[in-house]
Structure 1
Amino acid sequence: MNRAQHQLHITAEWITDYAQSIEAPLQAIHGDIIAPATMPIIFWKAFDIPWLNMDVPWIHGTQHFSYNAPIIAGMILDCELALTKVEKKTGSQGDLTLYTHTLVCAYNGDLIVTAETVLIRVGDQVE
């Protein structure tokens, strides 16, 4: 399937800006700022995702996060975004195509977070 990789430097400013945008309180461990649990959803902005046509409307389906450790300011994460499944269904609005993506981020070789996101296209087109 389709895959893209990107390295992300997680700064305290980035975490603070994201936390403020979702009105989440800042948290810290041993004085280090921790990213809110949903922050990996914005990591997508750093990726070139050639298999997604962003000129058409998408519906956000489901999203799940699984953490082995918190994301902490100062980390440089090695992330890979993969299209792991494409599934056609029929819904009340007609044909739907569900695109399941898995984002995996590691720090110094250790898995930090896995995030699974389903995006939905209405219609019968498959990208």
Structure 2
Amino acid sequence: MNRLEHRFHITSEWISEYAQSIQAPLQMIHGNLIAPATMPIIFWQAFNIPWLSVDTPLIHGKQSFSYKAPITAGMIIDCELSLTKIEKKAGREGDLTLFKHSLICTSEGRIICTAETVLISIGGGV
């Protein structure tokens, strides 16, 4: 399986806590708090990702976010995390395995945000 789904209820408290943890200013739109642009990265914590080995350390290689609308307090966000590609490369420290992921977040059937992430495993295993 290379696709996982999870639903999140975005609260003002969650946004405030995350913003404080990264020292980001709080912003509002139409009376609702707006999540910092990088907040979808913590959505990963809710997923049990079977294709990533817990025995092998991972390096965060690359990440990008693309927004159609802001994530705001009160939203119900449906997220789909997909493994889009596994690529093997030779590196200075040994073999590298690049895991390319896509996280698509929707609300009420509309795409809100897409995050592309590359995680890198150094050494033997997947």
SS at match of 1:51: coil
Q: Which residue of 2 aligns with 1:68?
A: 68
CA drift of 1:123 comes to 1.1
Q: Which residue of 2 aligns with 1:50?
A: 50
SS at match of 2:74: coil
Identical pairs, percent: 67
User: Displaced runs of 4+ in structure 1, greater than 6 A?
Assistant: none
Q: TM-score, normalised by structure 2?
A: 0.96
Matches within 5 A, 1:80-119: 80-119=80-119
**Is 1:29 aligned to residue 29 of structure 2?**
yes
Structure 1 residue identity aligned to 2:103: L
Q: Which residue of 2 aligns with 1:4?
A: 4
Q: Which region of structure 1 is more displaced relative to structure 2, 117-126 or 60-69?
A: 117-126
- Distance across 2 between alignment mates of 1:108 and 1:54: 34
CA drift of 1:48 comes to 1.7
Q: TM-score, normalised by structure 1?
A: 0.96
Q: Which residue of 2 aligns with 1:120?
A: 120
Unaligned runs of 5+ in 1: none
- Root mean square deviation of aligned Cα: 1.0
Unaligned runs of 5+ in 2: none
Structure 1 residue identity aligned to 2:110: D
Q: Aligned pair count? A: 126
Please list the CA deviations of residues 5-58 of structure 1 after superposition, one character each: whole Å capped at 9, or x if unmatched.
000100000000000000000000011100000000000011121111223211
